[in-house]
Structure 1
Amino acid sequence: MGHEDFLKQAAEAKTRIKQVSSDEAEKIGDRPNALILDVREAAEYQQAHLLNAVNVSLSQLEQEIQEIVPDKSTPIVCYCAGGNRGALAADTLNKMGYTNAVSIEGGLKAWESSGKATIDTTEANS
């Protein structure tokens, strides 16, 4: 898929899903049964991610999510780097019958620019 097609698909997904601010995402993520889902590639996840985030790349989501989250009413906060893959992930989850999937508007960049902490594994390992 070309970059323009990807951006078009992401824009369409955003019209169908619920996007939340970093503050709202944090509140949802604090619920005991919630899942924070990082849909970036493993290498991106390893550089930095949200506390307690589970990494399932967008390309693997449909194959893996039902094993990780069998309960389709589970609150799921999806995010990526800038908000596009997160939106596509939330849209995919909605199509699969998940009823509480949202995406962080602006992704990890927005989270970090709002002053919220991430787990920076590059620092932790040095």
Structure 2
Amino acid sequence: MIYKKLLMCFIICTAIFGCKEAVNKEHVKDISSKELLKIIESGDVQLIDVRTPAEFNEGYIENAKNVNFASPSFAKDITTLDKDKPVIIYCRSGNRSGKSVKDFINAGFTKIYDFNGGILEWKSEGLPLVTDTP
């Protein structure tokens, strides 16, 4: 009896998470720092840093716009972005950017790149960060 319940839970979880992943893959591509550089160089894209303003001020990728994922108005804030332009989302390590994907999809974005290594990967590759301090 317990095995049937466990099997049923497994099937339900697989169905829920499997469907979610299929939806995300339709709209989202996970990218590395090298791919991020190529995308930025190749065209018109919006680079969105979803960290807090304090984290953003410590250093960010050039031309990034800060939209705080922890803000209660995050879902509303991203609606001011151009839905017709591809968007690259990043954070510190990829956790918040990955979670924010759902909000971008719900807001109508169809070309989403998730830089899942975040600032930590960027720094580890020795790539430059912009700071507002001289």
Shorter-chain TM band:
0.7 to 0.9
**2:81 paired with 1:62:** no
CA–CA distance in structure 1, aligned partners of residues 36 and 102 of structure 2: 16
- Aligned twin of 1:74: 85
- Aligned twin of 2:29: 18
TM-score, normalised relative to structure 2: 0.72
Q: Which runs of 4+ in 1 moved over 6 A?
A: none
Stretches of structure 2 that go unaligned for 5 or more consecutive residues are: 1-16
Amino acid at match of 1:36: L
- Aligned twin of 2:58: 47
Amino acid at match of 2:74: L
Equivalent residues of 2:51, 2:92 under 8 A apart: yes
- Aligned twin of 2:131: 120
- Aligned twin of 1:3: none
CA–CA distance in structure 1, aligned partners of residues 42 and 79 of structure 2: 20
Aligned partner of 1:87 among 98, 102, 106: 98
Deviation of the 1:28 alpha carbon: 1.8
Two-structure CA RMSD over aligned residues (Å): 2.0
- Aligned twin of 2:11: none
SS of equivalent residue, structure 1 residue 103: strand
CA–CA distance in structure 1, aligned partners of residues 29 and 102 of structure 2: 9
Question: Structure 1, residues 22-58: CA drift from partner, whole Å, max 9, x if none?
Answer: 1111222234421110000001101100001000101
Amino acid at match of 1:30: E
Question: Structure 1, residues 98-124: CA drift from partner, whole Å, max 9, x if none?
Answer: 0111111221101111121111334x2
Sequence identity, in percent? 30
- Aligned twin of 2:119: 108
